[in-house]
Amino acid sequence: MNARKDAAIFDGRHVHFIGIGGCGTSGLALMMKSRGATVSGSDQSASDTTNSLRSAGIAVSIGNSPADLQPDIDLVVYSAAVAADHPELVRAESMKIETMTYAQALGWAQSGRTGISIAGTHGKSTTTALLAHLLIEAGLDPSVIVGANCPQLNGGGTRTGSELIPSGLLAGTPGIFVAEACEFNRSFHSHQPTMALINNVEEDHLDVYGSLDEIVKSFRVFAGNLPAAEVGGKLLIGHEGAHRRSVASGLQCAVSTFGWSPTADYKVEYEPSTNATSIWYRNEEMLSWRGRLSGEHNALNSAAAAILATWLGATASSIKHALENFAGVERRMQYLGACVTDAGANVRVFDDYGHHPTECERTLTALRNAENPRRIICVFQPHQHSRTRFLLEQFAQSFSHADLVIVPPIYFVRDSEIERTLVSSADLVARLNAKGTNARAIDDFAEIGEFLHRHTQDGDLIVVMGAGPVWKIGHDFVKALTQQTNRAASMPPRAAASPSE
């Protein structure tokens, strides 16, 4: 169906989610429940997420359960992973129940609110969570849906706020709803924002778009959904790296740019050695802070969130305080801990979601500058065969800050079996070595863990990167060494040997 334009009213409705265990769908389900809907759902497998949904009073069934669709259901929402022939979806359509994709339902939920959509090839989750944190600290009580867990959003990725903005410049206007806007499958075209951010625009999801030109066109369609400037429509777009002229020229909304250039509307400055960031507007310093997130990319993410928060009525002092205590989101350059290996090597371990060449390069650069390790050992699992094939040369040039790159098999998702035969982890390893980056392929996660135990040296930094299950390697490595250390600490001291022994 087409996205609805009427204001979303959930009170008294029964909404059923197919694929309710996803990060976005689970968040939207919780939000709809808090806004008065009766919510149920299903998922292919049980998880911590489905368990927490049940604890929140949402009925969740595991597996395909078309017989469980009740006649009182008003709306069925299904995730992007649900096929058109899914038994529950087919059953819902046969029962003449209204259906929406997750993206359409999210856009509908934004209607009647002051919607803020955060888009861009990179940095969406971090910037969405950051903006949410700034607005919460400013007392603006936003609703939020972000595609990652954030400790400062009660460990999750969703929050339901006020129906009206409670204070500040926009007090009394419709409540703020901040949402991450994903460009995959053009999902973000369904959003209904009042304001939006486009952080950057690069080649990605080429299995969907085919070319960078089509990606740029898609972002322009997204930006074109913003209302006119006269009714509050605003776009903040990267001065560099966002194809701003092609995306934003001729839009009806107000357009502002941010970035490193003195010609940007909001000029950003960053000092890596001190992690100090500042924003300049019309040649005057608007804000400065020292945050906990390292790297130029996070300086830009933070600056974008700060500018949007200012537009929404947050004060400079509250923004500064919130930026300086924001702890980040899970799997975004996340510090897992420091460990001592069997050989006595002290190592630090990080986990990161990066699965695009630019993301990998920026994270490794930030870790090199911020942590100053003896060596960086990167375990990188490519995500999708098509992405790896399309961007192979870019990947080959993105790991220069790593001293060793270990590559497990490519994570197979959303690709055909034919695509699976066209590229392998061995191809990436060959290109990395050809570019002067030491790399090797290891097929088994357990074997990678054993390799790390044997070969890490004192002062090394391990970073595990990828959007698939590769995160388990870093977590298991830290867990094993932590348990080993705890066992050793709990053992009674060995008695001194007697002279006769």
Residue 66: what pLDDT?
Answer: 82
Residue with tokens 């050793």: 488
pLDDT of residue 4: 46
Q: What angle do CA 292, 296, 302 make, to 5 degrees?
A: 55
**Cβ proximity of 288 and 276 under 8 Å:** yes
Residue 134, Cβ neighbours under 10 Å: how many? 27
Contact 341, 481 (CB under 8 A): yes
Where along the chain do the CATH 3.90.190.20 domains lie? 334-487
pLDDT tens-place string over residues 368-408: 998 999 999 999 999 999 999 999 999 999 999 999 999 99
Task: Give CA separation, 425 vs 52, 370, 408, 412, 444, in Å.
Answer: 36, 29, 7, 11, 12
Query: Is the domain defined by 334-487 classed in CATH 3.40.50.300?
Result: no
Calpha distance 80→22 (Å, rounded)? 10
43 versus 81: which is more confidently predicted? 43
CATH code of domain 111-325: 3.40.1190.10
d(CA 92, CA 94): 5
SS3 annotation, 41-71: EEECCCCHHHHHHHHCCCEEEECCCHHHCCC
CATH 3.40.1190.10 residue spans of the chain: 111-325
Unique residue bearing structure tokens 């094939």: 389
The amino acid at residue 83 is A
Say what angle helices 296-311 and 357-371 make with each other, to 10 degrees.
Answer: 100
8-state DSSP, 404: E
Confidence of residue 419 (pLDDT cuts 50, 70, 90): very high
> Out of 43-57, 340-354, 475-489, which region has the weakest mean confidence (pLDDT)?
475-489
What one-letter code names the amino acid at 98? E
Residues 6+ apart with CB under 8 A from 298: 126, 291, 333, 366
Q: Which residue has the higher pLDDT, 106 or 48?
A: 106
Sheet holding 376-380, edge to edge: 334-340, 346-352, 461-465, 376-380, 404-407, 439-441
Q: Is the pLDDT of residue 500 over 50?
A: no
Q: Which range, of 258-267, 382-391, 486-495, averages the lowest pLDDT? A: 486-495
- Within the chain, all domains assigned CATH 3.40.50.720 are found at 14-101
* C-alpha span between 432 and 360 (Å, rounded): 13
User: pLDDT tens across 106-161, in order?
Assistant: 999 998 899 999 999 999 999 999 999 999 999 999 999 998 888 888 878 888 89
**What pLDDT score does 83 carry?**
85
- Which CATH number does the domain 14-101 belong to among 3.40.50.720, 1.10.287.3510, 3.90.79.10, 3.40.50.1100? 3.40.50.720
Residues 93-103 pLDDT 10s = 999 999 999 99
- Residue 309: enclosing H or E segment and its boundaries? helix 296-311
Residues 314 and 168 sit within 8 Å (Cβ to Cβ): yes
Question: Mapping DSSP to helix (H, G, I), strand (E, B) and coil, where does residue 249 land?
Answer: coil
